[in-house]
Amino acid sequence: MSAPATERSPVRMDEIVSLCARRGFIFQSGEIYGGINGFWDYGPLGVELKNNLKAFWWQRMVRERDDVEGIDSAIITHPRTWEASGHVANFSDPMVDCRACKKRFRADQLEGIPPCDAREGSSQHDFTEPRAFNLMLSTQIGASQDASSIAYLRAETCGSIFTDFRRVREAGRQKIPFGIAQIGKAFRNEINPRNFTFRSREFEQAELEFFCHPSESAKWFEHWKALRLKFHRDLGFREDQLRVIPHTTLAHYARAAVDIEFLFPFGWQEIEGIHDRGSFDLTQHAEFSGKDMSVTIEETKERFVPAVVETSVGVDRTALAILCNGYAEEKLEDGETRSVLRLAPVVAPIKAAVLPLSKKLSEKTERIAADLRRRWNVFHDDAGNIGRRYRRQDEAGTPFCVTYDFDSESDASVTVRERDSMAQDRIAIDALRGYLEERLEGWR
């Protein structure tokens, strides 16, 4: 066993991008054709990490509460949804074009852009005046191609939560206060996708809209702010990597808003927003649809349009933060360097790897792996020397490696190696499941 780590260097984004490509976490969509900007594919390890993150969010936000219902709505909804929300008219970023190289940039993000490569005698861009660029991605529905066939890929997942409010409340037999949660894809025609998966044109959100009496929205805003911050702490983010930043300028309908930010290698950036939106959303949809969105309190007969407290987390951004938080290249006391991904067990793609010391022992270890797979995602690897196999699992973020050696034949035990400390325990095979369960699930 190698000596414990003595030094951990700061993480760079190029290291994260390289890790994601070589280990099959994330790579550019359409890579064999040169890729398509702003779109990313999640490979075998990436999809497991992302699914684990979403499952953890769903467990905390929906299954552990009796006042939250879940839905899964269509990506394309009625176009009036986005007129009511203001997206069609107002969902835009300031844009400039370079007249020389024909490239397009956000007017508020010109610092650090590459020089113009199309002008003679100057590398400065020749920019147009800034103009609004709507970020909604449109599509056509049906065979005809006229104005009536235009629809939009949703720019955020909350739209259908508001339009489904009445149906879900009745079906779930919920009373105010209660929430509706959803995880799903959203699409924005970003002018400048950047920072790997942080800002993309196709991404995933996990959102909760919590409906309450307008007089209680401030209380619920504080409630959800505290719970959401705890969620990120439980993902393993350190105190110095998270901060809560209040909005200095609020939307006209908002009462309060904060961002939870993570310290990425490229600086502090938002991974979740929490907003007290007042009664704006249901009021707008009531006006545009002609349907009554108010509720009545049976005991007092008071009738009102509920206020909404929203929590919206970027799944892809949080997955990227998990990778940045966990990855390290460590120099060990014996002079060796290892790459390791320190992931919280709840999001680790592979929970344990089962490794026979020799291929001659593979038949026994395959049975052990098959038994553990009934509970967790487990990897079996019998290729290469044991040190290299440990290193592969360290880099994949696997919390535990289970090694079956020639002594296992006589003592019916295996060696379990913990990823972070590299400490090893000798455990009876019959006790292995309980040993892993305590360490993989007991941390919660």
pLDDT of residue 316: 97
Query: What is the band of 6 on the pLDDT scale with cuts at 50, 70, 90?
Result: very low
**Three-state DSSP string of 133-183:** EECCEEEECCCCCCHHHEEEECCCCHHHHHHCHHHHHHHCCCCCCEEEEEE
Higher pLDDT, 351 or 144: 351
- Among 371, 375, 364, 373, residue whose Cα is nearest residue 412: 364
Rg (CA), the chain: 25
**Torsion angle (degrees, nearest 10) of CA 434, 338, 444, 58:** -110
134: left (phi over 0), alpha (psi -120 to 50) or beta: beta
**Per-residue pLDDT reduced to its tens digit, 267-302:** 999 999 999 999 999 999 999 999 999 999 988 999
Number of neighbouring beta carbons within 10 Å of residue 110: 12
All domains of the chain, ordered by start, with CATH?
13-79+136-323 (3.30.930.10), 92-134 (no CATH), 350-441 (3.40.50.800)
pLDDT of residue 220: 98
Tell me what percent of the residues of the chain surpass a pLDDT of 90.
Answer: 72
Q: pTM of the entire structure?
A: 0.88
Across 18-40, average pLDDT: 93
pLDDT of residue 89: 67
Higher pLDDT, 57 or 96: 57
Higher pLDDT, 99 or 293: 293
- Among 195, 271, 268, residue whose Cα is nearest residue 231: 271
Q: How far apart are CA 39 and CA 347, in angstroms?
A: 23
* pLDDT for 82 beyond 80: no
pLDDT of residue 146: 65
The C-alpha angle 146, 151, 155, rounded to 5 degrees, equals 150
Across 183-196, average pLDDT: 87
Across 390-406, average pLDDT: 97
Query: What is the band of 1 on the pLDDT scale with cuts at 50, 70, 90?
Result: very low
pLDDT of residue 163: 94
Number of neighbouring beta carbons within 10 Å of residue 301: 7
Between the alpha carbon of residue 438 and those of residues 341, 435, 442, 444, the distances in Å are 21, 5, 5, 10
34: left (phi over 0), alpha (psi -120 to 50) or beta: left
